[in-house]
């Protein structure tokens, strides 16, 4: 391989690096959103259970969330013991809203 060809390959790698980094960040942001959605579903069920037992659904939801996730909003809904929980998604890329909302209703 000539010296000129090696320089060309280096430029191609340097040019491709931002694209690969952006794709990795997008993949990680998607994984964070899926993680937050699953955690919010579980926390909404726990909050609805606490509400049906007469306890504070807000503290139950926050206790059910893993570290790093916070309750962004909680409202009680429906004729049964239901809650609508909004959880903030950890942001790796500053694009768009970063919350997920889940509902759970217990009889």
User: Which of 52, 83, 87 minimizes the C-alpha distance to 69?
Assistant: 87
Q: How far is CA 14 from the centre of its chain?
A: 31
Would you place residue 2 in the very low, low, confident or very high pLDDT band (cuts 50, 70, 90)? low
Residue 1 pLDDT greater than 60, yes or no:
no
pLDDT at 97: 72
pLDDT at 9: 72
The domain locations on the chain are 3-106
Rounded Cα distance, 26 and 67, in Å: 22
Give residue-wise pLDDT tens across range 41-84: 999 999 999 999 999 999 999 999 998 899 999 999 988 889 99
List Cα–Cα distances, 74 to 9, 40, 53, 78, 107, in angstroms: 54, 11, 17, 13, 18
Give residue-wise pLDDT tens across range 18-44: 999 989 998 998 898 999 999 999 999
Residue 94 pLDDT greater than 70, yes or no:
yes
pLDDT at 12: 79
pLDDT at 43: 97
């Amino acid at each position: 391989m000539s010296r000129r060809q090696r320089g060309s390959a280096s430029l191609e790698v340097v040019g491709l690096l931002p694209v690969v980094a952006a794709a990795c960040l997008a993949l990680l942001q998607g994984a964070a959103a899926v993680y937050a959605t699953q955690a919010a579903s579980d926390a909404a069920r726990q909050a609805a259970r606490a509400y049906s037992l007469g306890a504070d659904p807000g503290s139950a939801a926050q206790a059910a969330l893993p570290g790093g996730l916070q309750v962004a909003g909680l409202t009680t809904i429906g004729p049964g013991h239901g809650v609508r929980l909004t959880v903030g998604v950890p942001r790796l890329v500053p694009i768009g809203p970063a919350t997920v909302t889940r509902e759970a209703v217990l009889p």
